[in-house]
Homo-oligomer: A and B are copies of this chain.
Amino acid sequence: MAYQAPVNDILFALRSAGGLDQLIENGVYEGLDLDTVEAVLSEAGRFAGEVLEPLNRPGDRQGSKLVDGTVVTPDGWGEAYRQFTEAGWSALPCPEEFGGQGLPGIVSSAVCELWNASNLAFGLCPLLTQGAIDAIHIGGSEDLKARFLPKLVSGAWTGTMNLTEPQAGSDLALLKSRAVPQGDGTYRIFGTKIFITYGDHEMVENIVHLVLARLPDAPEGTRGISLFLVPKLMVNADGSLGSRNDVVCGGLEDKIGIHASPTCVMNFGEKDGAVGYLVGEENKGLATMFIMMNAARLAVGVQGVAIADRATQRAIAYANERRQGRSMGGGEGPVQIVEHADVRRMLVTMQAMTQAARAICLVTAREADLAQRASDAEARQQAQARAALLTPVAKAFSTDIGCEVASMGVQVHGGMGFVEETGAAQYYRDARILPIYEGTNGIQAIDLVARKLPLGDGKVLRCYLQDLGAIVKDVRESNRPEFGHMGERLGEALAALGEASMWIGEQLKKNPEAVLAGASPYLRLFGITAGGCYLAQGALLAARDGVETDAARYVGLARFFAENMAVAAPGLAQSVMGGADSLMSIPTSRLSI
C-alpha cells in the first residue's frame, strides 16, 4: 500500500505538545509560519511516497553487496539519492553559510520521520551524514569546514561516524585505533572499525569519515580519544578530488534487517596509514562526539516513531481489507477485521503509542532549538538542560515503541504478517536495530538516571515534572466527560514518576547499583507519563479550541493512552524502587551457564 505522510498528526503534535504557534508568535522561529511547515511536510511526504517507498521492499530483498572492494547499493538507490539531493532535502537542516536551508530542528525532525517511515535503510544515509556535518561544524577548523561542509550539505558527499571497534562498543574507553601525527598538521590513522553505516557505497564520489582514535601519548580511557576527519578520496586545496586514501571496506554484516543499508567493517591504514585531520582538540574527541551524538540520538528516536507510524498505516490498511468473523451485532457475511474489538485495541494502541513517542521527540527537538535560539541566556541554558534530560527518553522510549508497534503490526496481519510478502515483516526486522545503535537503550536509561536526573541538583527534572503537572491539572479542571478518567490516571502516573524520581535522588549516592538496576523501568515510566501528558495536551487543544480535523480522535487517543498505557506507571515505579533487592539476591554465579 502507498505511504501516506501523517502530515495532520505531525502538525497536531507540533502545535499541541510542541507549542509551535506560540514559538512562531514569539519570534523564536524567525521567518517560519505554519503554512510553510505544512507545505514542507506535504512536499517531503510526496517525495517519500513516490521515490523512497517504492524502493523499500526491493532494497530489502536485494540488499547492499560488497563487489570487488566497493559497496553496491540496490537497484535504483543511487538515482533516488541523486533526486533527494537535487530536491535540496539533504540541505534542509544545515547551516545556511555552507549552503543549507537552516530549517529549525523541530521541523527537520518532523521531515526526518518521513524519510525513515518510507525507507529506513535509505533514511540512515542522510541521518549519518547529518551527524558528520554537525561534528565538523562544531569542532572543525575553518579550513575543514570550507573544504568539506558545502559538499556534505549539498549531499554531493556523504558522511559516516566511526566509533565502534570489535572490543569497544558501549565502552569507548577500550578503543585502540591509533592516530600518528605527521608533523604537517595531518595524522595517519590505523585501526579497524565495525558497524559503520554506509561506510562505503557507490552513490557519491566521496565519503567523509569521522573517526575516533588515540594519539601516541594519549591518556588511557575516554580522556585520550581524539576525533579525526578521514576522507575516502583526498580533497585538494582547490576542492578537486585527489588520490584514494588508505581506508577500505573489509566486509558487510549479515543482519536481521535494514539490508539495503550497508553495515561495514572499515579498515584504516592497511598500507601506510589513512590521512586524517583533527576535529576539535587533541584528546577531546568525545566532547565533540557527544554534542553530535545528542542530535543523532534524537534522530534515532524519530526513526522509532517513523517505523511505528509506517507499521500502523499498513496494519490499518490490512485490517480494513481482510474479512474474517462476524460482527458482534450480527449482520451478513464476514466483516473487516477492524470491526473486532481485539484488533481495534491493537490498532488504537499502535496509534496512541506512536503519537506519544512523536510528541516526546518533537518536544526534545524544540528544546534543542531553544538552546540555540531563545532570546536570553538563561532560557537557552534551561532549554539545553531540558533537551539533555529528554534526549535519552526520546531515543529509548521511541525505539522501544518502534519495535513493539512493528510487532503488533505483524500480529494484526496474522499468518500474512510472518511472510515477507505483505511488508509488515520488514518493519519488524528493520525496527530491531533501533534500540541498539547510537547507544543501547540500557545506556540511555543509565544516562537518564545517573547523569540527567542530577542536572542542576535535580532542579531540571523538578521543573519538568511541574510542567507535566500543569497539564494534568488542566485536564482535571476541564471536567470534560469525554476525557473519561484521563486526568485521574495521568495524575497517578505522574505521582508514580515523582516518587520513583525522589527515590533515585536519595539512592544515587548511597546505593548506585540499586538505581542502575531500576534504570530501564524508570525510563519507561518517564516515557509513558510524558507521552500521556503530551497526548492530553493535544486533547485539551482539540476539545477547547477545536482543530480542523480529527478532534474526537485526538481526544480518544489521549484517553485511551491514559487509561490503558499510563496505568502501567505505578507498577513500573514499584519495579524501579523494589527491583534491585531481588535482583541482587541471585548470585552472579547463577547467571553463568
Rounded to whole angstroms, the CA-CA distance of A384 and B287 in the bound complex is 65
Q: With A414-B440, A418-B432, A428-B432 given, is the CB distance from A586 to B560 under 8 Å?
A: yes
| Number of residues on chain A facing chain B (CB within 8 A) | 107
Q: With A517-B345, A591-B348, A592-B338 given, is the CB distance from A556 to B579 under 8 Å?
A: no
Smallest CB separation, A528 vs chain B (Å): 10
Rounded to whole angstroms, the CA-CA distance of A410 and B328 in the bound complex is 40
Given the complex, which residues of B lie within 8 Å of A489, measured CB to CB?
574
Interface assignment of A485: CB less than 8 Å from any CB of chain B? yes
Contact partner of A578 among B420, B441, B485, B575, CB < 8 A?
Answer: B485
Do B585 and A556 have beta carbons less than 8 Å apart? yes
Do B317 and A520 have beta carbons less than 8 Å apart? no
Given the complex, which residues of B lie within 8 Å of A343, measured CB to CB?
442
Smallest CB separation, A378 vs chain B (Å): 35
Do A256 and B428 have beta carbons less than 8 Å apart? yes
Rounded to whole angstroms, the CA-CA distance of A550 and B553 in the bound complex is 52
Rounded to whole angstroms, the CA-CA distance of A521 and B557 in the bound complex is 18
Given the complex, which residues of B lie within 8 Å of A345, measured CB to CB?
517, 520, 579, 583
Given the complex, which residues of B lie within 8 Å of A419, measured CB to CB?
253-256, 263
Contact partner of A324 among B174, B407, B514, CB < 8 A?
Answer: B174
Given the complex, which residues of B lie within 8 Å of A575, measured CB to CB?
563-564, 567
Rounded to whole angstroms, the CA-CA distance of A417 and B169 in the bound complex is 12
Do A563 and B579 have beta carbons less than 8 Å apart? yes
Best-surrounded residue of A323, A334, A432 (most CB of chain B within 10 A): A432
Smallest CB separation, A324 vs chain B (Å): 4
Given the complex, which residues of B lie within 8 Å of A344, measured CB to CB?
517, 583, 586, 588, 591
When each residue 424-445 of chain A gets 1 if its CB lies under 8 Å from chain B and 0 otherwise, what string results? 0100110011011100111001
Smallest CB separation, A505 vs chain B (Å): 18
Interface assignment of A185: CB less than 8 Å from any CB of chain B? no
Smallest CB separation, A251 vs chain B (Å): 11
Given the complex, which residues of B lie within 8 Å of A567, measured CB to CB?
570-572, 574-575
Given the complex, which residues of B lie within 8 Å of A479, measured CB to CB?
none
Interface assignment of A498: CB less than 8 Å from any CB of chain B? no
Q: With A1-B593, A316-B592, A410-B432 given, is the CB distance from A420 to B583 under 8 Å?
A: no
Do A325 and B415 have beta carbons less than 8 Å apart? no
Do A582 and B564 have beta carbons less than 8 Å apart? yes
Interface assignment of A394: CB less than 8 Å from any CB of chain B? no
Do B436 and A415 have beta carbons less than 8 Å apart? yes
Do A563 and B578 have beta carbons less than 8 Å apart? yes
Contact partner of A519 among B334, B342, B563, B590, CB < 8 A?
Answer: B342
Interface assignment of A581: CB less than 8 Å from any CB of chain B? yes
Given the complex, which residues of B lie within 8 Å of A328, measured CB to CB?
512-513, 516
Smallest CB separation, A4 vs chain B (Å): 6
Rounded to whole angstroms, the CA-CA distance of A563 and B557 in the bound complex is 30
Interface assignment of A381: CB less than 8 Å from any CB of chain B? no
Copy number in this complex?
2
When each residue 1-39 of chain A gets 1 if its CB lies under 8 Å from chain B and 0 otherwise, what string results? 100100000000000000000000000000000000000
Do B582 and A484 have beta carbons less than 8 Å apart? yes
Q: Tell me the A404-425 residues at the B interface (CB within 8 Å).
A: 407, 410-411, 414-415, 417-421, 425
Rounded to whole angstroms, the CA-CA distance of A578 and B420 in the bound complex is 36
Do B553 and A586 have beta carbons less than 8 Å apart? yes
Interface assignment of A339: CB less than 8 Å from any CB of chain B? yes
Contact partner of A585 among B170, B433, B437, B482, CB < 8 A?
Answer: B482
Q: With A174-B334, A428-B432, A586-B553 given, is the CB distance from A593 to B420 under 8 Å?
A: no
Interface assignment of A559: CB less than 8 Å from any CB of chain B? yes
Given the complex, which residues of B lie within 8 Å of A341, measured CB to CB?
513-514, 516-517, 519, 580, 583
Interface assignment of A552: CB less than 8 Å from any CB of chain B? yes
Interface assignment of A141: CB less than 8 Å from any CB of chain B? no
Smallest CB separation, A461 vs chain B (Å): 20
Rounded to whole angstroms, the CA-CA distance of A552 and B586 in the bound complex is 7
Contact partner of A425 among B256, B446, B571, CB < 8 A?
Answer: B256
Smallest CB separation, A546 vs chain B (Å): 16
Q: With A254-B421, A320-B592, A324-B171 given, is the CB distance from A560 to B579 under 8 Å?
A: yes
Do A445 and B559 have beta carbons less than 8 Å apart? no
Contact partner of A325 among B171, B254, B319, CB < 8 A?
Answer: B171
Given the complex, which residues of B lie within 8 Å of A583, measured CB to CB?
341, 344-345, 348, 560
Q: Tell me the A516-564 residues at the B interface (CB within 8 Å).
A: 516-517, 519-521, 550, 552-553, 555-557, 559-560, 563-564
Do A516 and B340 have beta carbons less than 8 Å apart? yes
Interface assignment of A164: CB less than 8 Å from any CB of chain B? yes
Q: Tell me the A60-111 residues at the B interface (CB within 8 Å).
A: none
Rounded to whole angstroms, the CA-CA distance of A574 and B253 in the bound complex is 45
Interface assignment of A183: CB less than 8 Å from any CB of chain B? no
> 20 A-B contacts, Cβ less than 8 Å apart?
A170-B414, A253-B421, A313-B593, A338-B591, A339-B588, A341-B517, A342-B445, A344-B517, A344-B586, A346-B442, A348-B586, A403-B407, A410-B436, A411-B435, A484-B585, A559-B585, A563-B581, A564-B582, A567-B571, A567-B574
